[in-house]
């Protein structure tokens, strides 16, 4: 296993998920519900499934599009989302 890739992926996803709408929705469900284990399992399985889909789609896409272009497109997408958020708040 590529441990550097593992830890960089873990760190990036962990930081990206802190305080996002998914975490806030899970917090809300845990506060309102009686079964925190059900909320934990539901959210953990959902996040695992969405990650699995992302890995499968990324692997399939990489067989058609060079990875450098996938990185560039993702970077432009993040910049565009950031600009949109900044301009929408102004």
DSSP assignment of 24-77 equals HHHHHHHHH-S-HHHHHHHHHHHHHHHHHHHHHHHHHHHTTS-HHHHHHHHHHH
pLDDT at 2: 93
First vs last C-alpha separation in the chain: 45
Assign 90 a pLDDT band (cuts: 50, 70, 90).
low
What CA–CA distance (Å, rounded) separates 82 from 84? 5
Report the range of poorest mean pLDDT among 17-21, 24-28, 82-86. Answer: 17-21
Assess whether pLDDT exceeds 70 at residue 25. yes
Query: What DSSP character marks residue 9?
Result: H
């Amino acid at each position: 296993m590529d441990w550097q890739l593992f830890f960089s992926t873990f760190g990036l996803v962990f930081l990206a998920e802190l305080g996002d709408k998914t975490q806030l929705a899970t917090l809300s469900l845990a506060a309102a519900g009686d079964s925190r284990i059900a909320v934990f399992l539901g959210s953990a399985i959902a996040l695992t499934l969405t990650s699995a889909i992302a890995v499968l789609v990324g692997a399939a896409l990489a067989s058609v599009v060079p990875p450098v272009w996938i990185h560039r497109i993702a970077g432009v997408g993040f910049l565009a989302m950031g600009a949109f958020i900044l301009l929408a708040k102004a």
